[in-house]
Amino acid sequence: MIEISNLTKVFGSGDAATTVLDDVDFAVPAGEIFAVVGPSGAGKSTLAQCINLLERPTSGEVIVNGESLTRLDAAALRRARRRIGTVFQSANLLSRRTAAENVALPLDYLGVTKAQTRARVAELLDRVGLADQASKYPHQLSGGQRQRVGIARALALRPSVLLSDEATSGLDPRATDSFLSLLREVRDELDLAVVFITHEMDTIVKIADRVGRLDRGRIAEQGSVVDLLLDPGSELGAALRPSGSSSAAPVGLEQLLVTHNSVAVPADWLSRITGQLGTPISVLGGNVQDVDGVSVGQWTIAIAPDRVHDFTSAATPLGLYARPVDTDTTVAA
């Protein structure tokens, strides 16, 4: 379990002071993946550095399994930091060390015997599927393999928290998916609390249980991924929802954006509404996907303007939320 409590980070002082993190609050229980998303410059990497105490927060606390790391002196902090394993973008491996030597790095500092280190490294590389790549140097590995070495190294000291900052950036879709499955597996096996920082919305939908949106240093919105996806009023939900392009509405018809607003939208909702209203409904675009067994998505449809009200009334009891598309900003649909 990791708790981030009223975390604030100010760089500089006086006139030059910039508040990069402003009262950030969230908690991630063991076994859960919490994603942090936000635009470039929102403070995501600063948050990562404050969580593993590479940067001292200006105020607020980082609490792991009930112990506040921010209150520890330097020696105690060095020990406590072992409870947080970190994977960075492009893994940050040392280029002059082999995969095995990179994984061994955190163990080297602990005074573990060579035999113990060798056994632990072999076990870790095997776990991430790289037993046969142990003696390769980082430049001889693919991007996806380097990130797997990064996970192995992050797990070397048996942490209870895994922190990942843009670890899938730059990976192709297959390497990303394989990284995400590995992350989910180790989360389950080791009951890790995972803080997963990314700017990729589709990655969040695939992996996270909950997500917080960081906006200019503040958590502007947070919640479970499914709840946000089903909330038509959520900005984060709208960004997470799979969106497809839609064609233009036929002349004279009104365009509506129809969003899943319930876990129980019947698969045949369109034919039900068409049957009930007895009027043609054109589907201009749509996208649905399964998230934790819940179907979420949205469609763009077109209908005669004098039937819009009837459509909305028929859609609501089926768990759908319909609103007119502002045709000037249709791209958002």
Ligand X SMILES: Nc1ncnc2c1ncn2[C@@H]1O[C@H](COP(=O)(O)OP(=O)(O)OP(=O)(O)O)[C@@H](O)[C@H]1O
Please report whether residue 274 would count as binding Mg ion according to CB under 5 A. no
Least Å distance between CB 168 and Mg ion? Answer: 13
Can you say how many angstroms the Cα of residue 230 is from the centroid of all Cα atoms in its chain? 17
Query: Interface with ligand X includes 218 (CB under 6 A)?
Result: no
DSSP 191: T
| Cβ–Cβ under 8 Å, residues 87 and 166 | no
Q: What letter would DSSP give residue 265?
A: -
Residue 296 has phi, psi (to 5 degrees) of -130, 155
Which of 231, 283, 239 lies closest to 262, judged by CA?
231
Helix (H) or strand (E) holding 31: none
- Answer for which of 45, 70, 90, 160 binds Mg ion (CB under 5 A) is 45
Q: Nearest 5°: phi and psi at 14?
A: 60, -135
For position 213 contacting ligand X by CB under 6 A, the verdict is: no
Q: Does 162 bind ligand X (CB under 6 A)?
A: no
Tokens matching residue 72: 């520890």
Task: Point out which span in 26-34, 44-52, 63-71, 245-253 binds ligand X (CB under 6 A).
Answer: 44-52
Would you call 135 exposed, middle or buried from its count of C-beta atoms within 10 A (0-12, 13-18, 19+)? exposed
Which of these ranges, 39-47, 122-130, 182-190, 260-268, lies near Mg ion under the rule CB under 5 A? Answer: 39-47
262 near Mg ion, rule: CB under 5 A: no
Q: Is 90 in the site for Mg ion (CB under 5 A)?
A: no
Residues 11-40 binding ligand X (CB under 6 A) are 11, 18, 20, 38, 40
Reduced DSSP (H G I as helix, E B as strand, rest coil) percent helix, strand, coil of the chain, to 5: 40, 30, 30
CA geometry: angle 214, 147, 104, nearest 5 deg? 115
**According to the binding rule CB under 6 A, does residue 140 interact with ligand X?**
no
* 8 lies in the binding site for Mg ion (CB under 5 A): no
Least distance (Å) between residue 194 CB and ligand X: 18
- Rounded least distance, CB 166 to Mg ion, Å: 6
Is 92 near ligand X (CB under 6 A)? Answer: no
Which span (43-51, 103-111, 276-284, 309-317) binds ligand X, by CB under 6 A? 43-51
For residue 46, state whether it binds ligand X (rule: CB under 6 A): yes
Cβ proximity to Mg ion, 45 vs 289, nearer residue: 45
Identify residue 272 by its one-letter amino acid code. R
Cβ burial of 333 (10 Å; 0-12, 13-18, 19+) is buried
> Looking at beta carbons, which residue is closest to Mg ion?
45
Please report how close the Cβ of residue 170 comes to Mg ion at its closest, in angstroms. 13
Could you give phi then psi for residue 55, rounded to 5 degrees?
A: -115, 135
Confirm or reject binding of residue 70 to Mg ion (CB under 5 A): no
Q: C-alpha angle 65/164/47, rounded to 5°?
A: 75
Task: Candidates 6-14, 42-50, 98-106, 325-333: pick the segment binding Mg ion (CB under 5 A).
Answer: 42-50
CB-nearer residue toward ligand X: 214 or 256:
214
Nearest to 243 by CA among 192, 188, 301, 202: 202
Contact status: 90 vs ligand X (CB under 6 A): no
Total site size for ligand X, rule CB under 6 A? 12
Coil, helix or strand at residue 122:
helix
Tell me the three state secondary structure of residue 71.
helix
Query: Near Mg ion by CB under 5 A, which window of 17-25, 37-45, 154-162, 186-194?
Result: 37-45
Of 156 and 208, nearer to Mg ion (C-beta) is: 208
Q: Identify what 11 binds: ligand X, Mg ion, none; CB under 5 to 8 Å per kind.
A: ligand X
Binding site for Mg ion (CB under 5 A): 44-45
Q: Which residues bind ligand X (CB under 6 A)?
A: 11, 18, 20, 38, 40-46, 199
